[in-house]
Amino acid sequence: MFAEQLHGGLHEFLELTGGLSIAEIARKLRCCSRTIRNYVAGRSPIPWHRIELLRLLALDARTAPENQTVPTPSDEPAAIANIDPDPAAPDVPPAELLAGVGVYAPHFLSSRRSFALYVRGWNVVEKIRCAKREGRFSAVLARWHEQAVELPRMWRSGRMFAGIGPPAYVDGKTDL
């Protein structure tokens, strides 16, 4: 009985995913596709919270009004960059740096220091410039706009985060 409370069933998982591809399921659940493949193959038990999230997403899809507007990047952002602009890269503002890191490596948003090290170490500025030239950066901004609504606050809790400084973003919904 206790194991049933911790894990969901594969049958229910597959019903709730409704024939989506493994990549689409992974994107919805915000995990890697290998995790989903392990669930489907039976190599890993499916945690109960994954099933619950799929139930909530299905409920939202059923109850959403048909004329619901999709937020555009011009809407007020859910997260605002808490970092200084890079004087060496005036063409890449802090909001774009935050979006680029937030989409590809969100765990580096936990502190300004880890964010700065990631941006410098992985040459994020040049990657953003390249994506802008190739016309791919608008998709990153759209994905960031969706993700920023659900920034996990749990990254900032616990003893491990004591004394690491402020995060690389602030909540755009609260007054500064």
Q: How confident is the model at residue 128, as a pLDDT?
A: 93
Domain map (residue ranges) of the chain: 2-63, 79-171
Q: How confident is the model at residue 72, as a pLDDT?
A: 47
Q: What is the pLDDT of residues 105-142, one digit of tens each?
A: 887 887 888 888 888 898 999 999 999 999 889 888 88
Confidence of residue 74 (pLDDT cuts 50, 70, 90): very low
Q: How confident is the model at residue 116, as a pLDDT?
A: 87
Q: How many CB atoms lie within 10 A of CB 82?
A: 18
DSSP string, 39-79: HHHTSSPEEHHHHHHHHHHHHHHHHS-TTPPPP-TTSPPSE
Distance CA 104, CA 99 (A): 9
With 0.85 as the threshold, say if the pTM is over it. Answer: no
Q: What are phi and psi of 6, to 5 degrees?
A: -85, -30
Q: How confident is the model at residue 125, as a pLDDT?
A: 92
Q: How confident is the model at residue 153, as a pLDDT?
A: 47
Q: How far from 116 is each of 74, 149, 167, CA to CA, in Å?
A: 26, 22, 11
- pLDDT > 90? residue 17: no
Distance CA 28, CA 5 (A): 22
Residue with tokens 């024939």: 19
Q: How confident is the model at residue 126, as a pLDDT?
A: 93
Q: How confident is the model at residue 139, as a pLDDT?
A: 87
Please, what is the Cα angle at 104 between 148 and 55, to 5 degrees? Answer: 55
Higher pLDDT, 116 or 171: 116
Q: How many CB atoms lie within 10 A of CB 119?
A: 24
Rounded to a whole number of angstroms, the CA Rg of the chain reads 19
Q: What is the pLDDT of residues 18-69, one digit of tens each?
A: 778 888 888 888 888 899 999 888 898 888 888 888 888 888 877 766 544 4
The total number of residues written for the chain in this structure: 176
Give start and end residues of each alpha helix (H) in the chain: 2-6, 10-17, 22-29, 33-41, 48-63, 94-104, 112-121, 124-134, 137-147
Higher pLDDT, 125 or 163: 125
CATH 1.10.10 for domain 2-63: no
